[in-house]
Amino acid sequence: MARVVGIDHIVLRVSDFEVSRRFYDRLLTFLGFVEEWDLGRTVGWNNGVTMVWVVEADPGAQPHRTGDIGFHHYAFELGAPEEVDELGDFLKREGVKIVDPPANYPSYGEGYRSVFFLDPDGLKLEAMYFLEKVNRGGRPPEPK
């Protein structure tokens, strides 16, 4: 039986390639990614587990609107709750629009801490730590 072992990559189409490239380069470098690919109007960063690609959108493409069908948000999993706070401080220094500052979300599960923020096109991103998931040792939750 086929089993997913991880999310390999995400590709984000952006309205202003240079603005988004600078944003994601600063963010992803802070998060431990390195730029691996530069293909002109497509660039990819890799942390050894996941790749994030930024691609210039087609001319005349409409921006994503929260609530539409499709992408809601992407969550970066961090290694410790303190890293959520460190990223929150970084985002403030960078002038990034923070939707929800670093906080605990007990309704999401034991030890869930995250920060929600927007990229230059208003795409929602999250960085989170989830103790309950860590305590499961990488195993999926028990079926309901």
Q: Is residue 67 part of a domain?
A: no
Q: Is residue 34 part of a domain?
A: yes
pLDDT of residue 3: 80
Q: Is residue 144 part of a domain?
A: no
DSSP-derived secondary structure for 128-141: EEEHHHHHTTTPPP
Tens of pLDDT, residues 125-140: 999 999 998 888 877 7
Distance between CA atoms of 72 and 126, rounded to whole angstroms?
Answer: 11
Residues 39 and 87 in one domain: no
Mean pLDDT of 79-88: 97
With pLDDT > 70 as the criterion, what percentage of the chain qualifies? Answer: 100
For residue 84, pLDDT beyond 90: yes
Q: Is residue 63 part of a domain?
A: no
Domain that holds residue 131: 73-138
Instruction: Residue 5: give its domain's CATH number.
Output: 3.10.180.10
Residues 34 and 77 in one domain: no
Sign of CA dihedral 7, 9, 13, 16: positive
Residues 30 and 81 in one domain: no
Contact 114, 75 (CB under 8 A): yes
pLDDT of residue 11: 95
Residue 62: band (very low, low, confident or very high) from pLDDT cuts 50, 70, 90: confident
Contact 16, 5 (CB under 8 A): no
